Amino acid sequence: MYPVYTYHDGIYEGGRPDTDLRQADEQYEMISHWKRSWAKRGWNPKVLTQADARRHPMFQPITERLKQLPTVNSSAYELACYHRWLAVAVMGGGFMSDYDVVNFGFEPREPQSDLTIYESHFSRDEVTPSCVSGTAYGFMSAVTAFAACDPKHVTSDYNGKPHTSDMIVLQKLRDTGLYVIAPIVRSYGNHGWDTAPLVHYSHAATAETDRVPCMRTSREI
């Protein structure tokens, strides 16, 4: 049975404000639904954590480098987004999915390249790493690109503040050959979402509705 990995490190837990604890509960609900949707299609869904990423011998020096990249988000959140790539590299590669990507018909398979990104918005010339597959080499190549990038070349302006992320770095590197694109994922509400094999229920896509019930009821898995 082919594994599919998601990443969760509890950044909303540990005595933080009640609003963050509510978000933590929502994350566990999404992870539960994510597991059911992928398992129903024959995958073996597994949740990775920072403990998995820490198994890589380069975890500490890479993390120190990633901390230097600017972000408008909390450092814990942004580092989790980078560490997930390292965790999957440690596992030998495979498929990595955000836990707000629901599987409605994507069957188990081997990665088709060293690194493939499955969500792309061609109208904006952007990719979103909500679902990715690849070899250990491909995932480690992405980590290396994140750690080695020049912040000046990958930083965007966000309400007057410098910001970058794994997604922004990948968008900036789109024409370098680091990855290939297979646009299978559809964002909830966008054209074709109701028949797509994979649907991404992102914060932005579900801003006008209640995210968790939307994931559970918009389509039957």
pLDDT tens string 28-71: 999 999 999 999 999 999 999 999 999 999 999 999 999 999 99
Q: Over 80: is that where the pLDDT of 106 sits?
A: yes
Report, as an integer, the average pLDDT of 142-150: 96
Query: Within its chain, how far is the Cα of 46 from the centroid?
Result: 14
Res. 203 pLDDT band, cuts 50 70 90 = very high
Report, as an integer, the average pLDDT of 194-199: 98
Give yes or no for a contact between 220 and 120, defined as CB atoms under 8 angstroms apart. no
**What is the strand order of the sheet 3-7 is part of?**
44-48, 3-7, 93-97, 131-135, 115-117, 180-181
Q: Over 50: is that where the pLDDT of 188 sits?
A: yes
Q: What is the pLDDT of residue 16?
A: 47
Q: Which is nearest to 81 in space by CA: 110, 69, 196?
A: 69
From residue 67, how far is each of 51, 100, 145 by CA, in Å?
Answer: 18, 26, 14
Query: Among the CATH numbers 3.30.420, 3.40.50, 1.20.120, 3.90.550, which is that of 3-217?
Result: 3.90.550
